Structure 1
């Protein structure tokens, strides 16, 4: 079974379009400088508020999905403890048993004990080529 690495992705709303703060500035500017004789249409105002609410909910959903992906990677990694794995390292292909797991960074890292008794630390999931 081959395990591919999990990369963390984040979306920068500034690069992709308007953010929440920009939307509020535009809305407040429209309200401030509207013609008193021709005020903003209620339907148009409500549509803009609905867009604002939708934007905020989408941002919250994105944050929760990012957290879910991180949690899923951690859960999958826990299942490797005690399993025999093949890994690619700088010294070549090695086989050993996963003895511990570190969740300190963005991606889980395993510690491996080889059949020769050597301990290899900080092995990324992307280095695993097979799980037995």
Structure 2
């Protein structure tokens, strides 16, 4: 899930390139089990090598958990920012024209928080936090 912040710049990095250069937990387990399955019974894996691979697996799992916790923390921060904007006047960019209005609602979707901003009878919906450029009290 992408996480926005007020005035944030969305990361345009290609995720396909990143995923091809890393190994995830399932890939590591498959590789490890295949190695155990096809090892030479007359010359099994050395205990030190086995323990080193288990340590790598533990490190991989801790890294995955840290990454998930960081993502959760960023999501909570974005949620707090969005709720804090209720009844505040904001300036929004990234639309056909710049728009100023009061945040009247916050909707939470899989893509993150989306604001509803009203200026009299003109109401704009689905505004992302990254589109907010100015917040007034």
Contact residue 7 and residue 129 of structure 2 kept, 8 A: yes
For the pair shown, the structure with the greater C-alpha radius of gyration is: 1
Match of 1:103 in 2: 108
Give runs of ≥4 in structure 1 deviating > 6 Å.
8-13
Change (3 A) 1:95 1:22: closer
Structure 1 Cα separation of the partners of residues 77 and 128 of structure 2: 15
Closer, same or farther in 2 for the Cα pair 1:113/1:26, shift >3 Å?
closer
Structure 1 vs Structure 2 CA RMSD: 2.6
Higher mean C-alpha deviation, range 15-24 or range 4-13 = 4-13
| Greater Cα offset, 39-48 or 118-127 | 118-127
Q: 2:32 matched to 1:27?
A: yes
CA drift of 1:41 comes to: 1.5
Structure 1 gap segments, 5+ residues each: none
Distance 1:10 1:74, change over 3 A: farther
Q: Distance in 1 between matches of 2:68 and 2:15?
A: 10
Give the secondary-structure state (helix, strand or coil) at the position aligned to 2:110: coil
Shift of 1:14: 4.7
Partner residue in 2 for 1:126? 130
| Map of 1:5 onto structure 2 | 8
Q: TM-score normalised to the size of structure 1? A: 0.78
Normalising by structure 2, we get a TM-score of 0.75
